[in-house]
Amino acid sequence: MAAAGSPRPPGSTTPTSGAVTRTTPPATSAALAVLRSPVTWILFLAGFFDGISDNWVHALVLWAAAYVVARDVARRARGIAPPTATVMFSGSGPRRPGLLALVAAAAVTYAVVAGSFDRYTWPITAAVVLPGVLVLAVAWPGPLWHRPVPARPRTLGTALWATVFVAAGLWELTALLMQPTLQGGSYSHPTISYLMDTVLSHQVGRSVTLLVWIALGAFLLTRITDSGADPVDGEEGER
């Protein structure tokens, strides 16, 4: 029995003045919602291209994320409300300069230590995966602090950003496909990964790149907002 006030799941029958109207079956509605979800498609296709470039472990990570997102979208489409987003800390964010300095010092120490490891070894793999999983676990339930959803931006502004992101993706994909093989880099058609090989062959380059990477993760973590109600990728936001 559905709880009072809960959303009526698709596929249920709705009595209207004695007549009964049948809506879309829940499984069909969930499948359509997943097919309409661009986030799921982006993650799936990114995993596919990473896989055929011989990075099957990384492809599995992307496909696992695609599955999680698809399941989330499907549950919403079936009328199963997501758990209420929880806020980890009270207030509106760290304001103490001492705390920020401590976090910055920890990030630099992390980058120097992790950058001392060679690429594609177990130590640096752990140094990247562990904070990554920690960030995902922290972000899963909701924002760190109360942070209102920004107003919907103008279409033109969003389109300009989208153009840059799509152009970057297509240019990288073009370079990848113009390599003699997908597994080997090309001097004439370098991908960003190929260009970064020179930078990442030195410890300083690795440390600087890791510092930028961890700073980006921290930045993204602080940009998570309270749940919004506008639909994103074909679904309703958490309430």
Partner 1 sequence: MNWRVLTVSGYLVVLVSAILLMIASHLPSSTIPTFGSLMSRIMRTRSGRIAVLVGWLWLGMHFFAL
Q: Does 193 bind partner 1 (CB under 8 A)?
A: yes
**CB-CB contact of 43 with 76 (8 Å):** no
Number of residues counted as binding partner 1 (CB under 8 A): 81
Least distance from partner 1 to the Cβ atom of residue 135, Å: 6
**CB-CB contact of 236 with 153 (8 Å):** no
In angstroms, rounded to a whole number, what is the distance separating the alpha carbons of residues 211 and 93? Answer: 22
Q: Which residue has the tokens 């997943």?
A: 34
Least distance from partner 1 to the Cβ atom of residue 1, Å: 27
Q: Which of residues 34-63 bind partner 1 (CB under 8 A)?
A: 37, 39-40, 42-43, 46, 50, 55, 57-58, 61-62
In angstroms, rounded to a whole number, what is the distance separating the alpha carbons of residues 18 and 193? Answer: 64
Per-residue x/- track, 99-138, partner 1 (CB under 8 A):
--------------------xxxx-xx-xxx--xx-xx--
Q: Does 88 bind partner 1 (CB under 8 A)?
A: no
Structure tokens at 32: 């359509």
Q: Does 69 bind partner 1 (CB under 8 A)?
A: yes
Structure tokens at 92: 């509106």
* Residue of 120, 126, 134 lying closest to 218 (CA atoms): 134
Q: Which of residues 140-179 bind partner 1 (CB under 8 A)?
A: 140, 147, 149-150, 152-154, 156-158, 160-161, 164, 167-168, 171, 175, 178
